[in-house]
């Protein structure tokens, strides 16, 4: 399946009731050859209106963390488990995740990322382990097929609990270090 076919299938999806209230499905955005992919749980209001993931307040905070560790947003791919917004930004229901997870799996197959970062506990519970504990396990790497995967705090949590922002910065620095390690040592001419 091509990117265009997958996105068209997503736009036409009516597998769960969320399609009835959506303005736009939020498929994903970014570099389709990215070594690094961020996966959130579901679109919020601004994402539903624009069709682009992480463009609201939480997205702007994510952008600031990416800038702080020198990862250009356009160099990564960003998506969510759900492609449609749950009412009032509630947590996704397992049945909704089940309807949408196939899109994410196909996106990841097309992307073949080396690093996957779950944004928040819900994505981590779906992609890493159902009993994942974000407070205790954020920043810890696991293997998922040919990729390494970890979870960090969701930016919306950081808006509500600024005390966790330093942990997020530490995790983002570690992500940047892993990303740089994939590229190999810098040549003396690049310094």
pLDDT digits (tens, 9 = 90+) for 81-135: 999 999 988 999 999 999 999 999 999 999 999 999 999 999 999 999 999 999 9
| Main-chain dihedrals φ then ψ at residue 69, nearest 5 degrees | -110, 15
pLDDT digits (tens, 9 = 90+) for 40-66: 999 999 999 999 999 999 999 999 999
- Bridge partner list, 118: 39, 151
Q: Give the C-alpha separation, 171 to 135, whole Å.
A: 12
pLDDT for the residue 184: 72
Q: Which of 30-34, 181-185, 186-190 has the lowest mean pLDDT?
A: 186-190
Architecture of domain 24-181: 3-Layer(aba) Sandwich (3.40)
Q: Give the C-alpha separation, 27 to 78, whole Å.
A: 9
DSSP assignments along 64-90, one per residue: HHHHHTT--GGGSEEEES-SSPPGGGP
Q: Give 87: exposed, middle or buried? Use CB within 10 Å, 0-12, 13-18, 19+.
A: exposed
Q: What is the pTM of this model?
A: 0.94
Q: How far apart are the first and last CA of the chain?
A: 41
């Amino acid at each position: 399946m091509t990117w265009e076919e997958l996105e068209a299938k997503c736009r036409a999806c009516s597998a769960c009731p969320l399609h009835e209230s959506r303005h736009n499905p939020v498929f994903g955005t970014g570099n389709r050859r990215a070594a690094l992919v961020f996966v959130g749980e579901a679109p919020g209001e601004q994402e539903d209106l624009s069709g682009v993931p992480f463009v609201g307040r939480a997205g702007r905070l994510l952008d600031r963390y990416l800038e702080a560790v020198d990862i250009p947003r356009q160099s990564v791919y960003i998506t969510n488990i759900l492609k449609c917004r749950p009412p009032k930004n509630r947590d996704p229901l397992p049945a909704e995740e089940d309807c949408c997870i196939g899109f994410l799996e196909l996106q990841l197959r097309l992307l073949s990322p080396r690093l996957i970062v779950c944004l928040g506990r819900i994505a981590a519970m779906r992609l890493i382990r159902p009993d994942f504990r974000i407070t205790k396990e954020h920043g810890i790497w696991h293997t998922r097929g040919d990729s390494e995967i970890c979870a960090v705090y969701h930016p919306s949590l950081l808006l509500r609990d600024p005390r966790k922002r330093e942990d997020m910065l530490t995790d983002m620095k570690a992500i940047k270090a892993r990303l740089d390690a994939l590229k190999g040592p810098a040549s003396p001419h690049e310094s």
